[in-house]
Amino acid sequence: MDRLVSPFVGGNRVTCSASSIPVVNPGTGDTLFNLEVSTAEIVDRAVRGSYALLSTLRYETTNARAARLRLISHTICANAESIAESLSLETGKSRNNAFQEVQSCSNIFDFYASEALRLSGRYFPSLRTGEQAIVSLEPVGVVGAITPFNYPLTLLSIKVAPALAAGCPVVAKPSPETPSATLQLAELCCQAGLEPDLFNVVTGGASVGQMLIDHPLIAKISFTGSFDVGRQVAAAAASGLKRLTLELGGQSPALVAADVNSELVSLTLANQAFENAGQFCYRPARIFVESILYEQFIENLREHALSKVVASADNPEAEIGPLRNKSAYEKVMRHIQDALDHGARLLCGGNRINDQGYENGYFVSPTVLVDVDPSMLVMREETFGPVVAVTSVDCLEHAIPLANSTPYGLAGYVFCSDLDRGWRLADQIEAGSVWVNVVHHTDIQVPFGGRKASGLGREKGREGLFEYLETKTLYLGRETYDFSGV
């Protein structure tokens, strides 16, 4: 494939260099196109173009910001099919799942259109006669948004939408493995009337991301990715005292009490754990089950795992697609082998599917490992694949130290018919979000983020909007004085 895809800056595709990266279909291994790597000049042009808008954005009405966000939401809806096709080809997820992501993206922009209208400062009568204080909110500045491959549009939207609601222009750098939806969205929005340079997209790998972080006119970095890379981002941003939002992954525990419906809970956890081939940060990866229910639960879980349809995106029945790349596949297989070497039992899966039509993609069968212990990699590190590890505990209260034993603190799950007990257990899980007797995607109206090594700050909800605002206090005297000295 000789097609060359360029970054989108200043309202246009910009040809910038002879250097490019092949973007492949993870299900077939075929090259979809070659992605140009943005030069330092292009990154600088993108940032400076965005920075030039700040003086206008700072003083515009909230109505104008809301209208802009609704324009983006409507544009996404009008082009949902073509955007979903790009997502499906690059990520390997089914067309249905890709379309759901596009719809979610539209909803995110619509939500922040409403939040923009609800922004308000505060007024304080002063402690001194003849004075008052006003606390106002201002855009933090140009935002650098760096996103990974697994949910390219969702993870972009929860950065771009609140940034624009706050009055901050954005320069985005998508993963070089899944750039199409980001570029397509920026171009479609500009064609629909979005101002040039308000949403620029630079392309390339880590070196381009570093240029964005290091640029002196970038005021904030919002990054989603691995802990190791996030730590490097934080260190680089610290030199310029840039604001940061970091979402760095997790190894989320699920606690299952003996009094629940094993069939229903195991199905719920299987659906969540294996979605998107396990390539998302808050999936239930470690499951602690009370011993009375253990054998029945793992058998139910095995049955649900075996029922999952592993197939390429063009199969309408596909439930689990391929892992995105070779390194992801190798990590998954290393974790599985480590567990087996240290005494875990393999209930199902654990293998790469190499049947005809699958030989060029990294398709891994849904895998259930049981009788695991805390020393195994699947219990300590983020596997980021279709693998769940299950262990038995005498009672869930004894599982709390195990649930909190990893460096991560992103999400947790509790299933318990005794709601009072379930809430007490949820309170003890060290995580930014905990689900009790339910499992679903995160809601846009409430904040999402992690503790410990899972990150800094919050995305989604009103808290996600505040990440892009600066607070200013104005002290105003009511009296008029002549300071001319005359």
Among the listed residues 187, 191, 182, 183, the one whose alpha carbon sits nearest the alpha carbon of residue 157: 182
Query: How many other CB atoms are found less than 10 A from the CB of residue 436?
Result: 16
Angle between helices 152-166 and 180-192 (to 10 degrees): 40
The answer to whether 184 and 86 have CB atoms below 8 angstroms apart is yes
170-173 and 4-5 strand pairing: unpaired
**How far is it, in rounded angstroms, from Cα 451 to Cα 282?**
12
Radius of gyration of the chain (CA): 24
Token pair belonging to 315: 């199969």
Dist. CA 221–CA 198, nearest whole Å: 16
How far apart, in whole angstroms, are the C-alpha atoms of residue 333 and residue 132? Answer: 64
Annotated catalytic, 81?
no
Reduce the DSSP state of residue 22 to 3 states and report it.
strand
Q: Where are the alpha helices (DSSP H) in 404-478?
A: 419-428, 461-466
Residue 277: φ, ψ to 5°: 55, 30
Give the integer Cα–Cα distance in Å for 214 and 210: 6
Nearest to 314 by CA among 15, 18, 98: 98
Candidate list 36, 90, 247, 319, residue with the active-site label: 247
3-state class (DSSP) for residue 142: strand
Tokens of 404: 């909190």
Residue 247 known to be catalytic: yes
For residue 255 the two structure tokens come to: 């606690």
User: How many Cα atoms occupy the beta-carbon half-sphere of 5 within 13 Å?
Assistant: 24
The tokens describing 291, both together, are 């011993």
Rounded Cα distance between 285 and 381, Å, is 10
| CA–CA gap between residue 433 and residue 410 (Å, rounded) | 6
- Catalytic position from the list 168, 190, 281, 348: 281
User: Residue 125: exposed, middle, or buried by beta-carbon count in 10 A (0-12, 13-18, 19+)?
Assistant: exposed
Distance between CA atoms of residues 415 and 287, nearest Å: 11
Catalytic residues: 247, 281
